[in-house]
A and B are shown apart, each in its own frame.
Chain A
Amino acid sequence: DTGVSQDPRHKITKRGQNVTFRCDPISEHNRLYWYRQTLGQGPEFLTYFQNEAQLEKSRLLSDRFSAERPKGSFSTLEIQRTEQGDSAMYLCASSRRGDNQPQHFGDGTRLSIL
């Protein structure tokens, strides 16, 4: 169990640029989740995949956000035309199939918009 891995750990970019983050879940986990966390707050749910299917999306996920998990393993989260308000920590988590399975988190990607 190597844990959930996220890349990059930090991303600094200018407003208006596109950014893409990668998440590699724990290998035997078929569920994958993206969250956003701002300072002083708990993580907020963005979207959820079971294998390659994106089954749930939060209304926080605007049209500028897209997530994929093409082969049911790693996932990418892309933000287009970044805005100041997108500055946050983007966390990925994974879990096993089944009810009441704990989600295990990566260390996140810290996005800063200049």
Chain B
Amino acid sequence: GESVGLHLPTLSVQEGDNSIINCAYSNSASDYFIWYKQESGKGPQFIIDIRSNMDKRQGQRVTVLLNKTVKHLSLQIAATQPGDSAVYFCAENIGGTYKYIFGTGTRLKVLA
């Protein structure tokens, strides 16, 4: 199938290592953030979200960190697996609107 994001920044990690994917968001009025995973030929898949009144949230093997001071979001994936290979997008929602603004995306490659 077609690739998503042919010229995206790429992070290569060894299987079993931890991955950290970073995102700088643009609007200080954004109050809700989501990380999505997108595999080739598919739509973005919800991974984890965080509200601006939090600075950390954990899910299964994933953790999202939010630093509002520098408008930075990160996604940590523990014990990265081959199935984690995909393009990852952060999305921000500006409070009071229904529009989500997506970042550029990062391609994660898991090396066996």
Contacts and interface: CB of A to CB of B under 8 A. Distances in A.
Interface of A: 4, 6, 31, 33, 37, 39-45, 48, 50, 55-56, 58, 91, 93, 99-100, 102-108, 110
Interface centre among B31, B44, B102 (most CB of A within 10 A): B44
Given A55-B98, A91-B44, A102-B49, A42 B6 contact: no
A102 B7 contact: no
A42 B98 contact: no
A42 B99 contact: no
B32 A100 contact: yes
A93 B45 CA distance: 10
Contacts of B32: 99-100
Contacts of A44: 102
A42 B104 contact: yes
8 contacts: A40-B6, A40-B7, A41-B105, A43-B102, A45-B99, A56-B97, A100-B32, A100-B49
Contacts of A99: 32
Chain B interface main SS type: loop
Interface residues of B, number: 31
Contact of B41 (A43, A93, A102, A107): A107
Contacts of B4: 37, 39
B102 A42 contact: yes
Interface of B: 2-8, 31-32, 34, 36, 41-46, 49, 51, 89, 91, 93, 97-105
A56 B32 CA distance: 19
A111 to B, nearest CB: 12
Given A40-B6, A100-B31, A100-B51, A4 B43 contact: yes
Contacts of B93: 100
B44 to A, nearest CB: 5
A21 to B, nearest CB: 13
B46 A102 contact: yes
Contacts of A31: 98
Contacts of B43: 4, 6, 91, 93, 105-108
A39 B5 contact: yes
